[in-house]
């Protein structure tokens, strides 16, 4: 039993990670869902001066100082725009050649696969396809709970959110099928 769970976690996590890696590094889709600033050096200088600490910055920020002149400016900005949801790292960006972000992503995929493998090892036999698609459904539902509010509260582009959900569904359909095959109950 333990060997099946570990094998399912390893193969399922690797399958899901492989799809996500191919999707982001080889296929062009993610480049289609993002937009460049007109003058990146100008925006970078502005961010350095106005967002000196790493963090998530919202424009307009949902909390304004009450009963002040800034409250009026805040209300006008909220009504007219623009709005922004920006993650700022004042230092140099992560080097794409560095192995650490990829390793962290692999560990995360293996951890999710381990949880799903453990759960799948104890369900009644319902068939590998149904188990695999069930894994994809669980992870994609979690992704929707995370990404949905980004779309409707913060205006994340629908294409970006749809692509992220499609990535989750494909990655974890593959991972889920591997988990179901190798960690599912006997006879699945």
pLDDT per position as a tens digit, 140-162? 777 778 777 777 777 788 888 88
Count structural domains, the chain: 1
- The SS3 of residue 49 is helix
User: Does a structural domain hold residue 66?
Assistant: no
**Distances, alpha carbon 113 to alpha carbons 14, 90, 131, 152, in Å:** 9, 34, 13, 29
Supply the range of the domain harboring residue 135: 2-36+97-183
| Rounded CA separation 12/178 (Å) | 5
User: Does a structural domain hold residue 57?
Assistant: no
User: Does a structural domain hold residue 23?
Assistant: yes
Dump pLDDT digits (tens) for 117-139. Answer: 887 777 665 666 666 677 777 77
- The SS3 of residue 86 is strand
User: Does a structural domain hold residue 62?
Assistant: no
Residue 171 and residue 19 in contact, taking contact as beta carbons nearer than 8 Å: yes
User: Does a structural domain hold residue 128?
Assistant: yes
User: Does a structural domain hold residue 167?
Assistant: yes
Dump pLDDT digits (tens) for 60-115. Answer: 777 765 666 677 777 777 788 788 888 888 776 677 777 888 888 899 889 988 88
User: Does a structural domain hold residue 32?
Assistant: yes
User: Does a structural domain hold residue 47?
Assistant: no
Nearest to 147 by CA among 177, 122, 167: 167
For position 56, what pLDDT does the model report? 86
């Amino acid at each position: 039993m333990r060997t099946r769970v570990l094998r399912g976690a390893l193969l399922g996590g690797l399958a899901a990670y492989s799809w996500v890696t191919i999707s982001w590094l080889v296929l062009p889709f993610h480049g289609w869902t993002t937009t460049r600033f007109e003058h990146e050096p100008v925006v970078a200088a502005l961010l350095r001066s106005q967002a000196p600490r790493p963090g998530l910055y919202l424009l307009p920020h949902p909390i304004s100082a009450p009963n002040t002149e800034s409250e009026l400016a805040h209300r006008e900005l909220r009504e007219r725009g623009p709005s922004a949801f920006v993650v700022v790292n004042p230092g140099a960006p992560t080097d794409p050649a560095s192995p650490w972000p990829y390793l962290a992503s692999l560990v995360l995929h293996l951890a999710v696969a381990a949880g799903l493998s453990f759960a799948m090892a104890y369900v009644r036999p319902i068939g590998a396809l149904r188990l695999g698609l069930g894994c994809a459904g669980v992870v994609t539902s979690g992704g929707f709970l995370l990404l949905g509010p980004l779309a409707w509260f913060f205006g994340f582009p629908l294409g970006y959110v749809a692509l992220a959900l499609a990535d989750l569904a494909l990655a974890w359909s593959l991972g889920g099928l591997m988990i179901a095959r190798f960690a599912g109950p006997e006879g699945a």
